[in-house]
Amino acid sequence: MTLGRIGDFMMAALNVVVVTMATSHQIHSLSAIFMYDIYQTYINPFRPSFSIKTVSLDVYKNEDLVQYLRHNNRCLTVRYVATLFFSVLSFPAALAFMVCPLETDYKVSFIAILVASSVMPVCMSVIWYRTTAAGFISGILTGMASGIAVWLLYATFTGTVSVR
């Protein structure tokens, strides 16, 4: 209560802004990952039509540019749809998270274990050129399994969880 009642309102407004911004950033990052890593790579990559033409080189480049602009317009539409989809999906996910009868500390720890297990494989895939898809996926799953195991062992030894 540094600033009294006004400080309480300011901190409440700050909390609302921070949570809203964090959720917005997560939704936009999910739509970007879907767009650039899945849609443009596997579903609909840009492939210019390579046909033999007898016209000048300038016309060929302009036709490729028109094809690329159409492809880019479709990709932007798909990204807007993906952003809307993840925005709509976040509401039921938040309701399910609120209904779960666990303490906030345990929820945050569980989410941190799920997310942190992918940090080292992502760093290795960026740094080391010989990282394979099987190694990447097995690294994430191994990290997640070991993180959950250590979390449960810690909870057992500290008396938080009783084994019967």
Three-class DSSP category at 113: helix
The per-residue pLDDT for range 72-117, each reduced to its tens digit, is: 999 999 999 999 999 999 889 889 888 888 777 777 888 888 888 8
Mean pLDDT of the chain: 84
* SS (HEC) of 33-99: HHHHHHHHHHHCCCCCCCCCCCCCHHHHHHHHHHHHHHHHHHHHHHHHHHHHHHHHHHHHHHHHHHH
Query: Which pLDDT score is estimated for 140?
Result: 92
Q: What is the mean pLDDT of residues 24-53?
A: 85
Query: Which pLDDT score is estimated for 159?
Result: 75
